[in-house]
Amino acid sequence: MSFKRHIPNFVTLLNLFAGCIAVIFAVNGNFIVAAIFVFLGVFFDFFDGLLARKLNVQSPLGIQLDSLADLVTSGVVPGIIMFKLISLTIDAPDYSAYNDNWNSVFHWQGFKMSLLPLIGLFITLASAYRLAKFNIDEDQQSYFKGLPVPANTLVILSLPLILEYQNNDLMNSIIINKWFLIGLTFLSCYLLNSNIKLFALKFKNWGFKDNSVRYIFLLLSVVLLIVLHFAAIPLVIGLYIALSLLTQSKI
C-alpha cells in the first residue's frame, strides 16, 4: 500500500520534470522542443489523476503537487512563450533613448529589455490564480469553472507551431501582430478565471445519451485536427467553450 500511494505522485513529478525542461527550451527560443515537453507534461498530468482514482490513493498532497506541477508546465511555459512572441513583434528599439511608456526599454548594467512583452507573463499569474481557486473549490468535480490551464496552454503553444509548420501568410500575419498577442493574453487571463461552466471529459459510462456533448466534441475535434493540423487547436478550444455554453443546463 505504501508503494502504491506514491505512484500517482511520481507521475506528477514527471509532469513537473517535463515542464522544467520545457522552460529551459522556451527561454532559449526553441519553442518546438518546448512544446514537445509540454505535451509530454500534459500527458502525465492526465494520467496522474487517472491512476490516483484507479488505485484509490487520492490525497491532499497529490492535489497540491499536481497544481504545483501544472503551474510550471501549463503556467510558466506559456507565459514565457507569449513573452517571446510579443518580443518578436516589436521592432528593434533605439537604445540610445529612454522613455517611460510601456514600449520603453530599461537598462540594468548592460541588460536591456523592452517592457511591453512582460504582459505575456500575465498568463502565468492568471494560471496560478486559477489553480489556487480550483484547489479550494469543491464544486468542480464533474465540470470546470473557467478554462483549465492545460487547455489554455495548448492554444498558446499552437501559435509557434502554426508559424513553423503551417506556412500560411494570413495566419502568420495575424500571429506576428503584437495587438493580437496582447489581446489573446488578456482573453486567456479572463477565460482562465471566468465563472463559465465547462464540461469535463470524464465518462461515468459510455452511453451516448449521457455523453453526447463529449462525443460530438471529440468527433469534431478529430476532424478539425485532420483538416487544419496545428491551426485547429485554437478552434478546438473555441468549440469546447461554445458547446459548454450551449449545454449549460446539462453541466
The domain segmentation of the chain, as residue ranges, is 4-90+107-200
What is the SS3 assignment for 144?
Answer: strand
Q: Return the pLDDT at 98.
A: 41
Query: What is the reported pLDDT for 96?
Result: 42
pLDDT value at residue 104: 61
CA dist 134 and 64 (Å) reads 10
The pLDDT value given to residue 13:
94
Q: What is the DSSP letter of 192?
A: H
Let me know if domain 4-90+107-200 sits in CATH 1.20.120.1760: yes
Q: What is the pLDDT along the chain (251 residues), one digit of tens a residue?
A: 467 777 888 899 999 999 999 999 999 999 999 999 999 999 998 888 777 777 777 778 888 999 999 999 999 999 999 999 999 888 544 434 444 455 566 656 666 667 899 999 999 999 999 999 988 887 766 789 999 999 999 999 999 999 999 989 999 999 999 999 999 999 999 999 999 999 988 777 777 777 889 999 999 999 999 999 999 999 999 999 999 999 887 77
3-class DSSP state of 143: strand
Q: What is the pLDDT of residue 107?
A: 59
Q: What is the pLDDT of residue 99?
A: 46
Across the strands, what pairs with 198? 144
pLDDT value of residue 103: 58
CA distances in angstroms from 64 to 60, 92, 155, 190, listed in the order given: 6, 42, 25, 23
| Beta carbons within 8 Å of 207's beta carbon, 6+ residues apart | none
Residue 227, class by beta-carbon neighbours within 10 Å (0-12 exposed, 13-18 middle, 19+ buried)? exposed
- What amino acid is encoded at 171 in this protein? M
Q: What is the pTM of this model?
A: 0.87
Q: Which residues contact 26 (CB under 8 A, 6 or more apart)?
A: 34, 77, 80, 81, 84
